[in-house]
Amino acid sequence: MNDLTGKRYDMLKVLNFVKVTPYYDNVWKCQCDCGKVVERNQSTLENTKRFHSCGCYIKQNLIPGDRERCSKAGKQRAKIKK
């Protein structure tokens, strides 16, 4: 078994091993840079195509104001087309 303890995946730092899933995947306890502790499958952590965080990274990029602005801009564009 690969020991991921102490390894860092973007915003997640691996704290310790938790368990093996019924699908022979390892579950690791990770701490996000924001302080939140989450459990992640090893296969998920080793997927380099995605950005790893507890989920706060995505939330930070989708603040409600931004969403509103996007939909407003979309409406304006629709008006111009007419």
Q: Which residues bind Zn ion (CB under 5 A)?
A: 32, 34, 36, 53-54, 56
Q: In this complex, which beta carbon is closest to Zn ion, that of residue 20 or of residue 58?
A: 58
Rounded Cα gap, residues 72 and 75, in angstroms = 5
CB 31 within 8 A of CB 16: no
Q: In this complex, which beta carbon is closest to Zn ion, that of residue 7 or of residue 36?
A: 36
CB of 47 vs Zn ion, minimal distance in Å: 18
Q: In this complex, which beta carbon is closest to Zn ion, that of residue 4 or of residue 12?
A: 12
CB of 12 vs Zn ion, minimal distance in Å: 8
CB 27 within 8 A of CB 14: no
Neighbouring residues of 57: CB distance < 8 A, sequence distance ≥ 6:
10, 11, 51
CB of 33 vs Zn ion, minimal distance in Å: 6
